[in-house]
Structures are given as C-alpha cells and as structure tokens.
Amino acid sequence: MATPASTLTAPATNLGIARIRIRSDLLIYLTLLVLTLSAWWVSAQGWFTPWSQTGYWLGVSGGVAMLLLFTYPLRKRWRVTYNWGASKYWFIAHMVLGIAGPWLILLHSTFHIGSTNAAVALFSMLIVALSGVIGRFLYVRLHADLRGEKASVASLRQAMGAQQHAVSTQLNTAPSVLDALHTFEQLALSPAEQGTRHLWRLFALPLQRHHVVNACKVEVKQTIKQRAKQEKWPSSVALMHYRNSCTQIEDYAMSVQRAAQFQTFERLFSMWHIAHVPFVWIMVICAIFHVVAVHAY
C-alpha cells in the first residue's frame, strides 16, 4: 500500500524548541560555572589586590558594566529609544553585561571582603546576578524568541490545536493513544487556582508527559506492527510510520505542556520582577557608598 508523503513528514517544532532551550540553559549555567572558577583561580594566584591599580580598574570596569545594564530597561521605557535597534540585540547585550559585570567585580574582590560596606555591595550584586539568571530562565519561556515577541495562551492553544489535528490524522488507527493524549490534555489544562497546582505544572507535569508519551509509543508500536503485517508494508515504511507517529505524540504532548505552564511562568515572572527591582536598588546604593568610601579613605 502506498504511503502519502504528507504522513511521512512531521516536524517536531515544540519538542525541538524545548530541547534548544534546555541546551541553551545548560550552556549558560556551564559558562557561569567556568567564569566563577576562572575568577577564583586568578584570585588565588595573587597577581593583584583590590587596592592595586589592576584591581582598581577591574572594579571600575565591572561597575561600568553593571551601570550599562540599565540601558536595556530604559530603552524599553523611553519612547525616543524605541527605534534604536532591534530589541533582540539589546537583550543579548543586557545578558552579556549581566555576566561580564559580576565576573569583573569578582576578580576585583579577589574573593576577599575588606569591610561591611564591601560585603553588602558584593553580596547584593551576587543576588542581583542570580536573580537575573532566574529572570532569563522565565523570560525565554514567556517569549517566542529574543525579539521579545511574547507568547500567549491563545497562540499556544492554537499551536496545540494544529498539533492535535496532526496527531488525529497520524493516529486514526490507534484510538486508545488518542484517548490517552486527550486525557493528558484535560488533566494538564484544568484550572490552576491554587499555588499547589502551579507547582504541579512546573515540576510534576513534565514527568507525567514523559510517562504518557512512553506509554503511547508502546501502544503505537504494537498497532503499526499489526497494520504492517496486514498490509505487507516493507520494514522501512513501518519504521517511518512509527517514527512519525512518535514525533507527533511528542510534539503534541509538549504543546500541551507549554500551554499549561504558560500561566505558571507568567505568574512567576511577575513575582520575580517585584522581588528583583528592590535588590537592584540596594545594589546601586551599596555600590555608591562603596565607591565613595574607597575614594574618601
């Protein structure tokens, strides 16, 4: 039996996006770890002190980098700067400065704290840097890409509807698999009025998705084996059907998870923003006192 070409091509868009984001997250975390260890190693060599000329200019460079971080939020709020380049590049620069600034200041400190003011300034900076990493994690899950094109529940549900149609077409001979996926959808998208429901979506839902996807793959494998035997498919055709069915299952389940988690990430991002701003101002005030104290004494 001939197999239509349309049934043999099913791009795993949502699953692919999720994997790219995970790889991007891991790369950033690894970069932060390497930079922190490199700053500690350089400090351990004793090549300079915070009061030496090299240490001084490292502190100045780090402070300037931290000040330049404010250009990104100002760019978003000042109407005159709206056309000053794509938001994507401003956000990338914001992330780079958010990594380079704390790294330079760590080098400047040589991992030694000389005064209470310096300790408060350093730890407030580290809190802001860690908060920025958390904010970036939430940001990329609420935006389609670095251009700042914000996703929405409606667009995610639309994408999920397209995936649902593709799954129904691909798996019309496996009603039990469709039922399992629809049950997963209803469970994932049920109202989340309580905080525990948001936590379930954040931590338990990916595990539930993984379990459902694996169970559906086993069912699909058996169905395709039977159909291939009945219709005398070559093994290559049966394997292609199986792979495409698995792709559709994974992509649809990921669409459901993204739609379900969107409101949770949106709520967390709002809470993060409320907590992040005070720490930023504490850091700025402490940094000003630290600079004044250094030059005064």
pLDDT digits (tens, 9 = 90+) for 241-295: 899 889 888 888 988 888 888 888 888 888 898 888 888 888 888 888 888 887 7
Is the C-alpha dihedral spanning 42, 43, 46, 47 positive or negative? positive
Residue ranges in the chain whose pLDDT is less than 70: 1-15, 144-154, 157, 192-195, 297
pLDDT value of residue 73? 82
The pTM for the full model equals 0.73
d(CA 234, CA 146): 45
39 Cβ partners below 8 Å, 6+ apart?
103, 106, 107, 111
* CA gap 225, 65 in Å, rounded: 60
| 82-115 residue pLDDT tens | 778 777 788 888 889 999 999 999 999 988 877 7
15 contacts 79 by C-beta, under 8 angstroms:
no
3-state helix, strand, coil in the chain (%, to 5): 80, 0, 20
Integer Cα distance of 286 and 69 in angstroms: 16
Residue 132 one-letter amino acid? G
CB atoms within 10 A of CB 105: 24
**Per-residue pLDDT at 54:** 94
